Structure 1
Amino acid sequence: MTEFEKMLAGDEFDGGSESINQVRQNAADLLQAINGSTDDRHRSELFQQLMGSMSESSIIRSPFYCEFGKTISIGEKTFLNMNITMLDGAKITIGNNVLVGPNTQFYSASHDLNYLKRRSWATHCAPIIVEDDVWIGGNVVINQGVTIGARSVIAANSVVNSNVPPDSLYGGTPAKLIRKIHENEQGS
């Protein structure tokens, strides 16, 4: 098993291995071209090369940052505003019709509480899932292992450390349930 495969499996891995560095360097080269381009068609083509999968109906504004790209999947008609950062050592899956505010950060990677393990930069990763029709306000942090349920809303400046059920309004640091979103608020 390569170090990249270990990372995707959620095991401890060597972040400086050749298998990981190749994917990381490819992403860095593509991101430089994406963030330096003003041609939407060209940027879309580059995003298709960068991402694991991304619907052509989705839009990501620059600048955009990630470490690997190949671990990210973005559904249809999804919009990511500027200055999004994704630490994508595990899969980050974003559904259809999702709105993500500027300066939002997705952290699938974390480090051990044991300082001795941190000395060697030991890292473990867990996936992040954002289901369909979610709205994430600006300056939100979504931490590893979190699933945000369909049609939920995350208030600006929140830090999401645990799963969010569908049809919920969450906010704060750490994010907590503010209230359920009722059927009459969901539209027709």
Structure 2
Amino acid sequence: MNLLRRIHLRLARDLDLRAPHWASQLRRRWLYLRHPIVDLQIDPTAHIGPGFQLIAPYGGRLVVGPYAEFRRGTTIELGPEAEVVIGKRVIFTNTALVQITTRLEIGDGVGLAQGTTIYDGRHGWDDPDKRWYEQPFVFRPIVIGEGAGANNKCTITASIGEGTIVAANSVVNRDLPANVMAGGIPARVLRRIGEPGATTDAGASAGAGVSGEA
């Protein structure tokens, strides 16, 4: 397997320069070979960029729709019962990280910018008699609605409504409604899309603007 991996990496590296489409196809086929116990359904039109990693030693399910795009260095990690469903024309830009134990659904046309991370679980910390590493994980499924976007280095642990845009460096730890601009730590609604200049008091002090690659 190590020899096959070295051959695959060299071929993919050469093809990236000459024929990116075929490099993507080679990576796609390698994923099926490398992860026989994972329920993989990757549309042939999806682009698998250099450095893509799937970490799923105990199974899980990954569905990738038409024309989805994983740019350089995207990593997806699945628990044994995890299900990740990615719609068509979803874009993961460089070094995005996804770690799912329950379920993640990403609607069509979503953009996730450089360094964005998505987690469906966290350590508990409510018991004062136990350290955080002694407490059980808390999980919840995540849905990112159609046409939503998260700018550079967002951390997402909750759902995002359709068409909502999240500012760079924000932490989404509570569900966001559809069709709003949001930002901050934690992310708050700044204004509704289509209402120029309208800003909530919380948004005015959130300290994050929409910037970066979507």
TM-score, normalised to structure 1's length?
A: 0.70
Query: What is the aligned counterpart of 2:172 among 138, 156, 160?
Result: 160
Amino acid at match of 1:71: E
Conserved 8 A contact 1:149-1:166: yes
Change (3 A) 1:176 1:66: same
The letter of the residue matching 2:96 is I
> Counterpart in 2 of 1:78?
90
Q: Which letter does structure 2 place at the counterpart of 1:103?
A: G
Cα distance in 2 for partners of 1:178, 1:80 equals: 24
One-letter amino acid of the counterpart of residue 123, structure 1? F
Does the residue aligned with 1:147 lie in a helix, a strand or coil? coil
Q: Deviations over 1:133-162 (max 9, x none)?
A: 01110100011xx22111110011111111
Q: 2:140 maps to what in 1?
A: 126
SS in 1 for 2:153: coil
Which residues of 2 match residues 37-48 of structure 1 at below 5 A? 37-38=12-13, 39-45=23-29, 46=31, 48=41
Q: CA RMSD of the aligned region, Å?
A: 2.7
**Residues in 2 aligned to 1:37 and 1:103: alpha-carbon distance in whole angstroms:** 23
Q: Which residue is equivalent to 1:95?
A: 107
Out of 48, 56, 62, the residue aligned to residue 52 of structure 1 is: 62
Distance 1:73 1:37, change over 3 A: farther
Cα displacement (A) at 1:42: 2.0
Q: Distance in 2 between matches of 1:74 and 1:101?
A: 15
Measured after TM superposition, the shift of residue 111 of structure 1 is 1.1
Number of the residue aligned with 1:139: 153
Secondary structure of the structure 1 residue equivalent to 2:143: strand
Superposition deviation, residue 174 in structure 1: 0.9
Point out where structure 2 has 5 or more consecutive residues left out of the alignment: 14-22, 32-39, 43-53, 55-60, 197-214
Task: Please state whether the residue corresponding to 1:40 is helix, strand or coil.
Answer: helix
1:178 aligned counterpart, secondary structure:
strand
- Residue 87 and residue 155 in structure 1: after superposition, are their counterparts in 2 closer, same or farther (change >3 A)? same
The residue identity in structure 2 corresponding to 1:94 is: I
Aligned-partner Cα distance in 2 for 1:61–1:161: 25
1:18 paired residue number: none
> Does structure 2 retain, via aligned residues, the 8 Å contact 1:129–1:148?
yes
The normalised TM-score by structure 2 is 0.62
Please give the alpha-carbon distance, in whole angstroms, between the structure 1 residues aligned to 2:143 and 2:115.
18
CA distance in 2: counterparts of 1:64 and 1:121, whole angstroms: 29
Over the matched positions of the two proteins, sequence identity in percent amounts to: 23
Amino acid at match of 1:141: T
Task: In structure 1, list runs of 5 or more residues that go unmatched.
Answer: 1-29
1:64 corresponds to 2:74: yes
